[in-house]
Amino acid sequence: MAMTMTQKILAAHAGLGSVKAGDLILAGLDLVLGNDITSPVAIREFAKFGKDSVFDKNKVTMVMDHFVPNKDIKAAEQCRMCRDFCDDKDITHFFDVGEMGIEHALLPEKGLVTAGDLVIGADSHTCTYGALGAFSTGVGSTDMACGMAIGKAWFKVPSAMKIVLTGRLGRYVSGKDVILHIIGKIGVDGALYKSMEFTGEGLSSLSMADRLCIANMAVEAGAKNGIFEVDDITLSYIREHGAAQPVIYSADPDAVYDEVINIDLSEIEPTVAFPHLPGNARTFSEIGDIKIDQVVIGSCTNGRLEDLRIAAEILKGRKIAKNVRTIIIPATQRIYLEAMEEGLLRIFIEAGAVVSTPTCGPCLGGYMGILAAGEKAVATTNRNFVGRMGHVDSEVYLASPATAAASAVTGRISDPREVIGV
């Protein structure tokens, strides 16, 4: 039976010769992930299994990233529960203050995910690892608990959407613009419980940062997962980060897709998602004069070194507009150090920005950038729902690091190409 990339990974992990869309399967897991918000619930549920240990101490990981360094007593207690559990269960991959990062940037960087893996995480943006050719998806904390206990999870095999990429991106256009364009085209439920499978000759022009960003936001189109065809760029990244030997799955030529979408990357323009949905995407021909109060550059979507470099290129020698708070968050400690060694942090600070330790904080309205009523923010994060970053009467505009940096300079939502003059 012909299968897609995702279906082949699921079949292999379920020990089956083939699967088809709609099948219910029990599949083995290569990694189970939780963070400081979702893990405590899973830990309480895990206790009900009556087990003394997790199924594999090397295949369970917890990353303290949402409210860390702890913002209040409740956050501190949540993290303490995770620390105690991981210490008691001798969990190998526990990441806390000083060695942590934003989970979906950290795990690929640490080489904990490779092509062909099956990963679940109690965080919706676990779909990020599809950039490496893995099947990864977000689950609830109860499913995380079960995964920690028995190393397996139930799945309904998704149907698929094939996205064929051609051409090359223009200057100051990135993976963020691509995924906002796609979600704007198909809607926030356009890939509901489907696998978004990316292929085509255009892949060769997308960096790993672009791919991680695109896969990260597959869930914003309602997808079960996003996954990229494995190529030399993927394999080079896997080798560089010391991940396990990849297992490469390619879709069969006659695999069945619900829909095929063709995207010419050369036609993508800088794109902004207006409140209050990621699918409310507009290009600058449709954007008027919108004054902003805050810019956030970071998150599991766009906090990688490549993102910081493009922001620094735009901010270098310029000043952030008066009354615009600009917060820049390297996604991991390693990225923070590399940005420091390259002089990027000096550029940010001299421009008038503040640089934070790695955290998810402002993305979910946790801390480090909460919005007041009526305030508007441009953010490189992945969601702009009502009240997502603070007050229900605030507004979040999703954009690329280039657009966010350009907007910080002008104090208005701005096309980076116009600010730079290209």
The CATH homologous superfamily for domain 273-420 is Aconitase, domain 3 (3.30.499.10)
pTM, two decimals, is: 0.95
Q: Which residues pair with 325 in a beta bridge?
A: 294
What is the signed CA dihedral for 359, 363, 365, 367, rounded to 10 degrees? 30
* Dihedral sign, Cα of residue 415, residue 173, residue 305, residue 225: positive
Walk along the chain (422 residues) and give the pLDDT tens digit of each residue: 899 999 999 999 999 999 999 999 999 999 999 999 999 999 999 999 999 999 999 999 999 999 999 999 999 999 999 999 999 999 999 999 998 899 999 999 999 999 999 999 999 999 999 999 999 999 999 999 999 999 999 999 999 999 999 999 999 999 999 999 999 999 999 999 999 999 999 999 999 999 999 999 999 999 999 999 999 999 999 999 999 999 999 999 999 999 999 999 999 999 999 999 999 999 999 999 999 999 999 999 999 999 999 999 999 999 999 999 999 999 999 999 999 999 999 999 999 999 999 999 999 999 999 999 999 999 999 999 999 999 999 999 999 999 999 999 999 999 999 989 87
By CB neighbour count within 10 A (0-12 exposed, 13-18 middle, 19+ buried), where does 188 fall?
middle
Structure tokens at 246: 């990849």
- The reply to whether 5-265 and 273-420 are identical in fold is yes
Which residues of 167-317 form beta strands (DSSP E)? Answer: 194-199, 225-228, 259-264, 271-273, 281-283, 294-297
For the chain, domain boundaries: 5-265, 273-420
Give the pair of three-digit tokens for residue 61: 């990981």
Distance CA 233, CA 208 (A): 7
The pLDDT score that the predictor gives to residue 421 is 80
Q: What tokens does 341 get?
A: 């060694």
Instruction: Sheet containing 271-273: give its strands across.
Output: 281-283, 271-273, 395-398, 376-379, 294-297, 325-328, 354-355
Structurally, what CATH architecture does the domain formed by 5-265 represent? 2-Layer Sandwich (3.30)
Q: Contact at 8 Å (CB) between 371 and 390?
A: yes
294-297 and 376-379 strand pairing: parallel
Q: Which residue has the tokens 């085509």?
A: 200
Cβ neighbours of 1 (radius 10 Å) = 12
Residue 377 near residue 403, CB atoms below 8 Å: no
pLDDT of residue 100: 86
What is the reported pLDDT for 330?
97
pLDDT recorded at residue 1: 83
What's the N-to-C CA distance of the chain in angstroms?
A: 50
User: Residue 367 carries which side chain, given as an amino acid letter?
Assistant: Y
User: What six digits make up the tokens of 261?
Assistant: 């979408």
CB atoms within 10 A of CB 56: 15
